[in-house]
Amino acid sequence: MVTDIQAQMDVLPGLDPRAPLLHVDDLHVEFRTRDGVAKAVNGAEFYLNPGETLALLGESGCGKSVTAQAVMGILDTPPAHITGGRVLYRGVDLLRLTEEDRRKVRANRIAMIFQDALSALNPVYSVGFQMAELFRKHRGMSRKDAKQRSIELLDQVRIPAARERINDYPHQFSGGMRQRVMIAMALALDPEVLIADEPTTALDVTVQAQIMGLLAELQRQRNMGLILITHDMGVVADVADRISIMYAGKVVEEAPVHEIYGRPAHPYTKALLESIPRLDLKGRQLNVIPGLPPALTDIPAGCPFRPRCGYARPVCGQQEPPAYRIAQHRIARCHFIREVLGV
């Protein structure tokens, strides 16, 4: 499905069709609580092009979901506060838009599949009502037309007997089917950017593969940019074009997927890959990353990964490493990249 860029520009002036689809530039988000200021995102930066899949990968608490919520404009303020940076959609900074203009982008141009489908869906309304509401509110459709379009979307995400199930409630669907409903709702208004936050959480391996295959197929059909948020290195290996590794709210390495898996340039990336169970290492002890991610209210000086890093030297506690460009589409934040790469 081809998106009409000119129609978008009429709704949201200033869009540049030549600019990256999405560019998160030096984004900072903090949560001001009674226990202190938790710096959840500390200069996150990445970009996304049409038809591309970017995986945001890292341990729980590294800032992946908060970054996505900042892009969507759905952070609760307070306690969350965006203290710096830009979120550029085709050259327009979403953080500077009025709430009315932001609503024109949300769901229409940038949509999100949330981590827990059962919590994201309203349990007291039927699936059909919740889907049709999108078309009535954003497209001005009649109830009849909105219901018909909702049935077509459920068919598209391969929910059996969609016409009969349109009036069912979320609890009447299995976990995999609820996730398909969430995908259908996210795609309802033909967004250019789809953010999938842990879309396969709590699903068995077979259903995970079905969901990821469905997302890839729909992405090809619509030429969408897809941001896949996950902590599962195995899930992204077959679907991502590029990977951004996040740690303590910052992207510490970004590279095409084959370069990340072939020759990681950051110690954290290398440690993540070495912790993946492998059939050829059967019977051996599984590698683990020592320690825990830093408390966001007390991120250590210098490199935040230093307390857990086997390559750490005194300089790592004194100077935060900049983003070194290794190749045209590859960066890493480490003082000892050459040593990690083995060159």
Q: Is domain 5-109+191-341 in CATH 3.90.950.10, yes or no?
A: no
Determine what percent of the chain falls in helix, strand and coil, rounding each to the nearest 5. 40, 25, 40
Q: Is the peptide bond before 290 cis (omega within 30 degrees of 0)?
A: no
In the chain, list all ranges with CATH 3.40.50.300. 5-109+191-341
Residue 13 and residue 96: Cα distance in Å, rounded?
13
Over residues 103-159, the pLDDT tens digits come to: 889 888 999 998 888 888 999 999 999 999 999 988 999 999 999 999 999 999 999
Task: Specify the pLDDT at position 11.
Answer: 59
Residue 243 and residue 258: Cα distance in Å, rounded?
9
Percent of the chain at pLDDT exceeding 70: 97
Do 25 and 88 contact (CB within 8 A), yes or no?
yes
What average pLDDT score do residues 216-230 get?
93
Closest CA to 9 of 186, 218, 192: 192
Q: Which residues contact 322 (CB under 8 A, 6 or more apart)?
A: 333
Structure tokens at 274: 């070495």
pLDDT at 13 over 60: yes
Q: Which residues pair with 135 in a beta bridge?
A: none
Pairing of strands 110-113, 324-327: unpaired
Per the listing, tokens 């349990």 go with 123
Structure tokens at 189: 């208004």
What average pLDDT score do residues 78-87 get?
96
Task: Specify the pLDDT at position 9.
Answer: 45
Pairing of strands 225-230, 53-57: parallel
Q: Amino acid identity, residue 146?
A: A
Buried b (16+ CB within 10 A) or exposed e, 325-342: ebeeebbbbbbbbeebee
State the Cα angle at 117 between 131 and 95, rounded to 5°. Answer: 75
> How long a stretch of residues is the chain?
343
Residue 25 and residue 222: Cα distance in Å, rounded?
26
Over residues 30-40, the pLDDT tens digits come to: 999 988 999 99
Do 215 and 53 contact (CB within 8 A), yes or no?
no
